[in-house]
Structure 1
Amino acid sequence: MGWRAGAAGLVPALGLLLAACRPAPPAEAPPAAASAPPAAVLRLQPGDWVEARPRELVRSLDVAGPLQAVDTALVKARLAGELLRLEVREGDAVRAGQVIGRIDDRDSRLRLRQAEEQAGQAAAQLQIAETTLESNRALVGQGFISRNALDTSVANAAAARAALQAARAAADLARRQLEDAVLRAPIGGQVSQRLAQPGERLALDARVVEIVDLRRIEAVVAVPPQALPELKLGAPAVLQVEGLPQPLPARLARLNPSADPATRSAVAYLALAPHPALRHGLFVNGRIELARETAFALPLSALRTDRSPPRVLWIEGDRVVEAQVKTGRRGHEGAAGGEPLVEIVEGLPPAPVGAPLRVLAGSVGGVREATPVRFEAAPAAASAPQNAAGAR
């Protein structure tokens, strides 16, 4: 009995041991990895790429400032008194020498009359002194008066003559003051400001009217000291005037020899051709041409500056290649108002023989390197930026 009971206890233990030694079933193989989808083709239309090549790079200086007429004048009161009338208003055209107003001249007329009366009195005194002198000359020869008495007569006649000249000068001065009561336009042009009204009491040198001549007009702009060595008289410029849709050509006419002590900048004067829309005081922005050079460049818009250093996306065969570049000078193409350009110093290969070196324009947007491209002659239904977005 004891042996059977022990054998019966060994059977379960043996089963557990055999189960542990049995090999495990093979694990289920993982699903095969999905293959990467092929990159979408970037379809390029005309305007989606630019050409990197040697170009004429025009370096220029950005400037801004007001317009002013070359010839301006302020009509001032050269005589204190009441303004009787003023015959012009803002916008009226005037001629040089034209009478535009009058100041009350009653006091001046009285002063002129007084000066003329004094001149007449001095003339009478001179006549008496000269008659006395002639009589004394005859008497001294006859021995009736002394030589000293004759010298006194000569001095009296000289004093009377000087008094007459002074009286006549005073009369001329009073006559000129009377003429100053008439206000005349010193230059031809248009009235820009009317600074006094009839009935107003004017002090000496009070401003009455401002006149501007718009036949010659120029822009007054500040130039930094570092740009002064490159500025040349006659240099072309392009200015954008407030209110005008198209920029206007200009040229560097003058350069102030003095610099502002606070900003160290000098003032340049840019002459513009007459234009009916130009007005004294309008503000302008523009560029002055400094130099023209030939450089390997491309449009600034094709330079991608979202990361440092800057880079460009160029096309090698039928693929997009990303290249980090080193840039140099900046300017504009062909003229101071042309397309902005940037010089590429390093990073791009030379252009293939007989073919352009194409660079993706900035309007295409972000594109991954090695994206395949295809050039299309006619515009497709989808725009290039949409194709580029799908190629990411």
Structure 2
Amino acid sequence: MPLSKMCKQGDGGIGDYLFPKPSLFLRRHISLTACVVTVGILIGGCGSLPKESAEAESKGAGRSANAVTPVDVAIARTELLRQQPEYTGTTTPYRVVSVRSQAEGRVLSLNVDVGDAVKTGQAIGQLDDAILLTGLKQAEAELAALKSEVARATTQISNARTEVERLRLELVQSQADSRRQQELLSAGAIAQQAAERSQTEARTATQALRAATERVRTEQQAVAAAQGRVLAQQALVTEAKERRSYAKLISPIPGVVTEKITEPGNLLQPGNEVVKIGDFSRIKVVVQVSELELSNIQVGQSVEVSLDAFANQKYTGRVTRISPTADATARLIPVEVVIANSDGKIGSGLLARVNFQGATQQRVVVPQTAIQADKNSQESRSGTIFVVSNTESNPKVTAKTVTLGEKADSKVEILSGLAVGESYVVRSGKPLKDGETVRMSVLSEKTQSSSQVNYSTTSTVGV
């Protein structure tokens, strides 16, 4: 009720209650006095509020001072301080062979099509070999003629040797007759003319034997020449057979037909392409790597490869070749990675993502907010981290000194002092002390196997 109404007489105010029916002057005086007293009471009551509020605040502050400090807790695990960049490339067969015609001829048949699997030595097509067969027959006929010539020359050698033997016997007989004639001439039994005739016959037999021997040598040389021609012709026959074999198209490697260039009925010239065969037992991916990452890559290194076509599967590849030449403009180096593909599941032309993270050693990594830097260390290579024990019932913190490694992206490597799986404080509501009891926030990680926990950055608890 307004103060003016409370002090007004006749309207049921406080004046009527205290002094019923006084005189006019007295009533006004009493009403004024009552109003002053009422206002004083109200002002006195309002003046007591700050004191009660201060006492309440003091009690609340005391309760706050005795409250347990809330903290965000995480579990130590190993990870990469810097995520390695991911490079993209395209899958290709480990090798691609182009089957080409080695002879001129019309295509009679092709036994394979795109996507067909072939084996080494498998016949995949046939060319018309009529002309090649004719050439082979001619070469074989010439070879037969040369072999006959050799046989004929060999027979002549045999005859010549027989003649040499006959002349040798005649020479022996002539020489014997000549000696007897000389003895008879010495005894005077025959005329000198008869003795001289026997000597002449002996000399003639000697000349005949010499000529026959020379003829044998000549025939032997003829046989050797004929045999040389036979060998040359045999080579021509072999070549003709080889050329005829070109009419049959053979797969040189095991693989899959990736492209079919010609069709039956087409005339091919030597060198014309017929089909392409890809070896998909292994898959090759070539990626362009930055020169800044080249020092972390080496031949033989294992890498992780993922394919968009098989999003839920990871493949392990191996670096097989690093190009010695970089792009002069982009400073990128081609690196070849090979993936095993024994089941033939991976095809050509798929988008591949290559990660070389295997080259970087994984260490325990924590947020920098969890580290209290050591003021005595000028290089800040050490710091303090609070480890939480008894995380289930009565969690307390223990200060541990850790050795720091590299820093990046608000994280720091722990070289020593913090083991994998230990719970540590990421953030706290106020500075902590060794042995202090804390309260884990709802965002804290629970103690469990580090392989089952995926760390995520927690929000800041009341600072």
Higher strand share: 1
Q: Does residue 109 of structure 1 match 2:137?
A: no
Equivalent residue, structure 2, for 1:357:
426
1:195-274 → structure 2 map (5 Å cutoff): 195-232=261-298, 235-256=301-322, 258-259=324-325, 265-274=333-342
Residue among 260, 273, 278 paired with 1:194 = 260
Where does residue 101 of structure 2 map in the other structure?
77
Establish whether residue 63 from structure 1 lines up as the match of residue 87 from structure 2.
yes
Instruction: Quote the Cα distance in structure 1 between the aligned partners of 2:266 and 2:102.
Output: 15
TM (normalized to structure 2)? 0.51
Distance 1:50 1:189, change over 3 A: farther
- Residue 91 (structure 1) shift: 1.1
- Name stretches of at least 5 consecutive residues in structure 1 with no aligned partner: 1-48, 300-326, 331-340, 360-373, 378-387
Equivalent residue runs for 1:229-378 within 5 Å: 229-232=295-298, 235-256=301-322, 258-259=324-325, 265-274=333-342, 277-289=345-357, 290-294=359-363, 296-298=365-367, 343-344=411-412, 355-358=424-427
2:189 maps to 1:120: no
Instruction: Tell me how far 1:238 sits from its aligned partner.
Output: 2.5
- State the alpha-carbon separation in 2 of the partners of residues 329 and 173 from structure 1: 72
SS of the residue corresponding to residue 162 of structure 1 reads helix
Checking the alignment, whether the CA contact within 8 Å between 1:52 and 1:298 is kept in structure 2 is: no
Which structure has the bigger radius of gyration? 2
Output the TM-score relative to the length of structure 1.
Answer: 0.60
In structure 2, distance between residues paired with 1:131 and 1:272: 67
Q: Partner of 2:247 in structure 1? A: 181
Partner amino acid, structure 2, of 1:288? F
Superposed CA offset, 1:202-223 (max 9, x none): 1212221112233322323344
SS of corresponding position for 1:101: strand
State which drifts further: 163-172 or 56-65: 56-65
Is the alpha carbon distance of 1:356 and 1:101 closer, same or farther for their aligned partners in structure 2, counting shifts above 3 Å? same
Give yes or no for the alignment of 1:90 onto 2:110: no
- SS where residue 69 of structure 1 aligns? strand
Give the letter aligned to residue 267 of structure 1: V
CA contact (8 A) 2:303 2:319 kept: no
Which stretch of the first structure deviates more once superposed, 211-220 or 270-279?
A: 270-279
Q: Which residue of 2 aligns with 1:149?
A: 215
Give the conservation status (yes or no) of the 8 Å contact 1:233–1:254. Answer: yes
The structure-2 alpha-carbon separation of the partners of 1:102 and 1:273, relative to structure 1 and needing over 3 Å to count, comes to closer
1:103·1:181 contact (CA, 8 Å) conserved in 2? yes
Deviation at 1:256, TM superposition (A): 4.1
Q: Distance in 2 between matches of 1:298 and 1:247?
A: 30
CA distance in 2, matches of 1:293, 1:253: 20
Give the whole-Å Cα distance in 1 for the aligned partners of 2:304 and 2:347.
17
Q: What CA distance in whole angstroms lies between the structure 1 residues aligned with 2:442 and 2:366?
A: 25
Distance 1:208 1:117, change over 3 A: same
Kindly tell me: are residues 297 and 154 of structure 1, through their superposed partners in 2, closer, same or farther at Cα, counting changes over 3 Å?
A: same
> What does the per-residue CA deviation read over 1:119-169, in whole Å, with 9 as the maximum and x for residues that have no partner?
011011111111112222333452252554333222111110011111111
Output the amino acid matched with 1:127. A
Give the structure with the higher percent helix.
2
Q: Secondary structure at the match of 1:265?
A: strand
Give the CA deviation at 1:192. Answer: 0.8
Cα deviation, residue 92, structure 1: 1.6
Shift of 1:106: 0.7
Q: Where in structure 2 are there 5+ consecutive unaligned residues? A: 1-71, 168-207, 369-404, 429-439, 444-458
Q: Distance in 1 between matches of 2:308 and 2:117?
A: 24
Please state how far the C-alpha of 1:200 moved relative to its aligned partner.
Answer: 1.4
Following superposition, the deviation at residue 100 of structure 1 comes to 1.4
- Number of equivalenced pairs: 277
Native 8 Å contact 2:305 2:317 kept in 1:
no
| Cα distance change of structure 1 residues 256 and 235 upon mapping to structure 2, 3 Å threshold | closer
Between the aligned partners of 1:257 and 1:376, the Cα distance in structure 2 is 52
**What is the rounded CA distance, in whole Å, between the counterparts of 1:342 and 1:270 in structure 2?**
36
